[in-house]
Amino acid sequence: MAERPEHSKGGVYSRKGEEFDRDTRYIATRVKRTVDDGEDAVPVEPDRYRLIAARACPWANRTIIVRRLLGLEDAISLGLPGPTHDADSWTFDLDPGEVDPVLGIHRLKDAYLKRDPHYSRGITVPALVDVTTGAVVTNDYAQMTLDFSTEWTEHHRPGAPDLYPEGLREEIDEVMARIYHDVNNGVYRCGFAGSQEAYEAAYLRLFEALDWLEDRLTLQRYLVGDSITEADVRLFTTLVRFDAVYHGHFKCNRSKLTEMPVLWAYARDLFQTPGFGDTIDFEQIKRHYYLVHTDLNPNQIVPKGPDPVAWLSPHHREELDGSPFGEGTPPGQVRNGERSPNPVELA
């Protein structure tokens, strides 16, 4: 089958031989504390960059969580596109006049074209935009959060956790690699499979990985070490969307998250930790997937359930060794203007 580019919420993908294939050719410019001559990087500078990150997108959700956990709100501003987009661009539907108040644009695509007038790849979130030029600096979401942890340390809040501790990086990287290939991207490989064979291969690989995670987390509170790391952030954004979207919409239906007792308790533990659940908007998540993916849901019917209040039920994970922030402290209240319009609350 010929390669056919299409838009997915993580960017552009293609089907090669009926198997989902994500385009990972991101703008790789980094934001670093020290920039060497000739390096594709720009300097860390507070108030210079604006993070554009839709709540609906799991890849963007990571950056919102990490920014909040580290207390980078004063250094990096946040722009929030609406939950839906067309084939052309994410848009700032939620802002007054549907224009981002800092960048002054309606379409995120305009910031990509400022960077490269001939830019032809996916208009993806998250994107870090240079406010002084209006141009995208990078959309490399995986490197972006690692740089938030390692290059922006002078601007972290007091008590910020070390999400990428040097002594654990090799293990964190190994765990994150499997989570990305088999879980984060695995649900998409199920949902956008172009053949029964491709779907079943992706399905088996996904649930083998979830079973591995269930075993790994039975006796330890977090994926690596005794406190939250980048690995937990990356797994959480898929788990929190699992029952609301991936189980039905992407046909990942061997088990619901609520039927995997260890992972369900682990996910609730994170959800109830400041910096995680307070970034989540289930209504925006569902509207994105069920309205944008018209090839999977042509009638654009958005399901009413599941009831998100279950995320607030007791998890008992605090009985295991470890604490979320190690020797640090939780972040404070969510900033005005950054609160989810649809928070999960007990009746």
20 found inside a domain: yes
Are 22 and 81 part of one and the same domain? Answer: yes
Q: What is the CA radius of gyration of the chain?
A: 19
| CA 232 – CA 234 distance, rounded (Å) | 5
**Other beta carbons within 10 Å of 250:** 25
203 is catalytic: no
222 is catalytic: no
- Residue 90 marked in a binding site: yes
- Active-site hit among 13, 26, 49, 57: 57
- Residue 17: pLDDT band by 50, 70, 90 thresholds? low
**pLDDT tens across 93-135, in order?**
999 999 999 999 999 999 999 999 999 999 999 999 999 999 9
For residue 311, give its domain range: 166-319
Are 133 and 32 part of one and the same domain? Answer: yes
Q: What are phi and psi of 327, to 5 degrees?
A: -90, 0
Judge whether residue 25 has pLDDT over 90. Answer: no
Strand partners of residue 135: 130
| CA 77 – CA 92 distance, rounded (Å) | 15
325 found inside a domain: no
The CA angle 145-215-168, to the nearest 5 degrees, is 35
Judge whether residue 43 has pLDDT over 90. Answer: yes
Judge whether residue 14 has pLDDT over 60. Answer: no
84 found inside a domain: yes
- Helix ranges (H only) for the chain are 58-70, 109-115, 141-150, 169-178, 186-191, 196-216, 230-241, 247-249, 261-271, 282-292
DSSP readout, 39-71? -SEEE--TTSEEEE--TT-HHHHHHHHHHHHHT
Are 249 and 212 part of one and the same domain? Answer: yes
Are 91 and 186 part of one and the same domain? Answer: no
Are 132 and 179 part of one and the same domain? Answer: no
What's the whole-model pTM score? Answer: 0.95
Are 72 and 185 part of one and the same domain? Answer: no
pLDDT at 347: 67
- Active-site hit among 188, 203, 266, 290: 188
- Residue 21: pLDDT band by 50, 70, 90 thresholds? confident
What CATH number should be reported for the domain holding residue 127?
3.40.30.10
332 found inside a domain: no
- Residue 11: pLDDT band by 50, 70, 90 thresholds? very low
